[in-house]
Amino acid sequence: MTPDRERTWSSGAGTAELPRTAPPSSGTGVPAGSFRGSGSGQRFGETERTDAWWLQPLIQAVGLTLLGLYATWAAFQGRFYEYKNYLSPFYSPLFTPSWWPFSPAFLILGIPLGFRATCYYYRKAYYRAFFGDPAACAVGELKSHGYCGEAKFPFILQNVHRYFLYLSIVVLAVLWIDVVRAFSFAGRFGIGGGSVALLACTGLLTLYTLSCHSLRHLIGGKLDCFSCVAGGGPRRKMWSVVSVLNEHHMGWAWWSLFAVCFADFYVRLCALGMIEDPVFYPFSMFDVSTKPFG
């Protein structure tokens, strides 16, 4: 096999010649004291940028605060999370052991919370929105000295993201079971408002999970050459699909977060009796003795 043939299915990683520079003195990429780019060492918010660089971190801060407050409030409730065949995604998988005195959401929420908190996109979003570190590219940072990246405690814990990914895939499988249940009304196939809300929520969560940077790396990002390893063809195909999804990871992150909150809100309103859940039975159209809505 020629070198060119061997690299037919290359991901591109490691194919370019690296510049011959001295290795960094620390593990954070750039030697301490060297130039770290425009914005470093400047006063907080100081920049030569003339665009509305502050708008995105501001929107992210407002969005994360509002959705985070709702999720916290919903988790503390510990009731009105179920209605007929619907279960709020904040409470799934549902565990209600008799010895647990708090909301059952707290038995499970650590997984999605840890997954999102360590997500590469959310890290960027909340570092910018809440820590101003940096607030945006080429903008003065809130804390421009003593930068150590994510190499020290507590931020070194961000490296456990991959393990939260594994756990989240298990939770996702349970959420799909909830979706199937949400379309079954006393053993009869129906489509309710909650069925659609839970389907949209779990579908978006699936796209968010499948577009994960860690998953992309696991499938093929760490490979220099697909055609050099066993199963390289299928892995390359999967990697290509995940790569397309990965380009929109930020969008999936926001839409899935919104959809989870909305699904909980919908189930809660139904459980509180504040709205009536409309259910459509598509197969009843062929049954003259049954009304399509019930």
> Interface with ligand FES by CB under 6 A: which range of 2-10, 52-60, 209-217, 269-277?
209-217
Q: Which of 212, 223, 259, 270 binds ligand FES (CB under 6 A)?
A: 212
Residue with tokens 């510990």: 78
How far is the C-alpha of 107 from the C-alpha of 93, rounded, in Å?
9
Among 121, 126, 266, 281, binds ligand FES (CB under 6 A): 121
Asked if 213 interacts with ligand FES (CB under 6 A), we say yes
What is the spatial distance between Cα 125 and Cα 250, in angstroms, rounded to a whole number?
9
Write down the least CB distance from residue 122 to ligand FES, Å: 7
What's the min distance (Å) between Cβ of 208 and ligand FES? 6
Q: From 183, 202, 200, select the one nearest 86 (Cα to Cα).
A: 183
Q: How many residues bind ligand FES (CB under 6 A)?
A: 9
The least distance separating ligand FES from the CB of residue 217, rounded to whole angstroms, comes to 9
* 245 binding ligand FES? (CB under 6 A): no
Residue 256 is a binding residue for ligand FES (CB under 6 A): no
Print the binding letters for residues 32-71 with ligand FES: x by CB under 6 A, - otherwise: ----------------------------------------
Nearer to ligand FES, 128 or 161 (CB): 161
Residue number, 130 or 163, with CB nearest to ligand FES: 163
Q: Which of 214, 223, 242, 261 binds ligand FES (CB under 6 A)?
A: 214
Q: How far apart are CA 42 and CA 44, in angstroms?
A: 6
Q: Which is nearer to ligand FES, 139 or 165 (CB)?
A: 165
Residue 119 interacts with ligand FES (CB under 6 A)? yes
State the SS3 of the chain. Answer: CCHHHHCCCCCCCCCCCCCCCCCCCCCCCCCCCCCCCCCCCCCCCCECCCCCCCHHHHHHHHHHHHHHHHHHHHHHHCCCCEECCEECHHHCCCCCCCCCCCCHHHHCCHHHHHHHHCCHHHHHHHHHHHHCCCCCCCECCCCCCCCCCCCCCCHHHHHHHHHHHHHHHHHHHHHHHHHHHHCEECCEECEEHHHHHHHHHHHHHHHHHHCCHHHHHHHHHCCCCHHHCCCHHHHHHHHHHHHHHHCCHHHHHHHHHHHHHHHHHHHHHHHCCCCCCCEECHHHHHCCCCCCEC
Q: Which of 19-27, 61-69, 119-127, 232-240 is the region at the interface with ligand FES (rule: CB under 6 A)?
A: 119-127
Judge whether 81 and 271 are in contact, CB under 8 Å: yes
Binding segment (CB under 6 A) for ligand FES, from list 18-26, 113-121, 128-136, 181-189: 113-121
**Residue 163 sits in the site that holds ligand FES (CB under 6 A):** no
Q: What is the smallest separation between the CB atom of 121 and ligand FES, expressed in angstroms?
A: 5
Question: Can you give the binding site for ligand FES, defined by CB under 6 A?
Answer: 119-121, 161, 165, 212-214, 249
